[in-house]
Chain A
């Protein structure tokens, strides 16, 4: 059958089906279980075509745009009212499947227009396309690379789900896997010569563990550091500001520390120089010091000024850690022996607060600040330890009292025993 004849048959069948289905839809209301797409010529026809041509129509009812009243023509052009093939006449504005390079313009028709967008969601930004143009993806796309990510690569298509929909590929906890679809694919990334280990590293990091393991939506996914539409690796001098979205106090301490200027002159990235980037593990006191795994040792000799400072900070932290642990141990021992140690709880928790504070102050590199926090903590833990010792002393007092009572009982028993000897027995 020549092409022309086949199209005629398809059109005729589709037209008939459309006729019947609209007639039926008018006669009997559709069941309420699944939201029916608006009665639209495109969907009606495409549903019954099967295979590749049917796919876009099947789940389109979930699409956020369809839910807000848009139809296929909003993106694809054409005339949904026309019953036959003429619906897809370029003369009626039909654009077919937009090329990747055209997608930003297609989506941007509405998404870049504050006037249109505020009718649907007054808070939604309208600079996505502008940001996209600044991203590595956008710039490569402009340069003619058709393999880079465009709107639908991340947001999906048919249906495009709202970002707040947990099924969306850009729902916060799904973002890392979505980026990894390309960025962890060695073959796909080969022409760009960039690493592909970020996803694997991220998964084992504190952030990945929090977001993917514990479902904590506060934890950052890829886009929280790299930007989403304007995705670019943060520059060496802006790392601290990126991390400061959550870790603000560390940024403030870092920016007034001597490290800031030093890192700048050496071209070192700020936070990530010590903490790493994708594989950020839980920090520990071992990171401070003059020998590995201490990160200070990467630059500082043990006997240099910086090395001495590192040692001082580490010693202060270890001292407080040790005295807090010793106090906690004393209090726990007294508690296990049956003493109520609630009075010791406040100084003990305050001492632990000072330890956490001192660890943070280490970012500012001020020995005076760190030492004042740790010495206050040591004082608090001594207070708790004194209470623990008092509890243990009380136990000693009880034991002595017991001995005294047993002596009295023994004397009395002896008296009674002698008495039984001196009085008539059985």
Chain B
């Protein structure tokens, strides 16, 4: 069968572009889709609670800073063996507080603010207590929960 060369070129070009385009489209759709379905490595964080540590991670009379709801929080393992958690944002100038094993309570380095293990101010310039979170031990996980 004899055809005009131009016509043949145009039709085959169209087919070529279509095939390439469809393959490309399949790729551009499938690639993000498959990547989307792969579960992310980071565990999902809800506002209400966070797994702060595993039992045994934190020796008694020590503390740990973690990010909870976009702000630093502090988990304290008291020398009595109980767990306590508070916001770690000092009520004075918003520095991050820390646990001082030698004092046995929470301390802000910036201006020597002291908070007891109920979050109450026991010394220094902080005007208000630290807000407390609820801590529950579920199996091997220590879960910090924002009170409702």
Contacts and interface: CB of A to CB of B under 8 A. Distances in A.
A352 B72 CA distance: 13
Contacts of A408: 21, 24-25, 27-28
Interface of chain A: mostly helix, strand, loop or mixed: helix
Interface stretch (B54-62, B75-83, B105-113, B135-143): B105-113
Given A405-B28, A411-B20, A247 B70 contact: no
Contacts of B7: 422
Given A249-B124, A342-B67, A349-B96, A412 B14 contact: no
B67 A345 contact: yes
A422 B15 CA distance: 10
Nearest to A340: B70
Contacts of B123: 248
Interface string B91-114: 001111000000000000111100
Contacts of B65: 346
Give the size range of B's interface with the partner: 35 or more
B112 A349 contact: no
B30 interface: no
Contact of A412 (B21, B67, B112, B127): B21
Contacts of A415: 14-21
A344 to B, nearest CB: 10
A361 to B, nearest CB: 9
B18 A249 contact: no
Interface string A60-89: 000000000000000000000000000000
B125 interface: yes
B124 A412 contact: no
Interface of A: 216, 218, 246-250, 252, 342-343, 345-346, 349-350, 352-353, 356-357, 360, 404-405, 407-409, 411-416, 418-419, 421-422
7 contacts: A349-B89, A353-B110, A411-B17, A412-B17, A415-B21, A418-B14, A419-B14
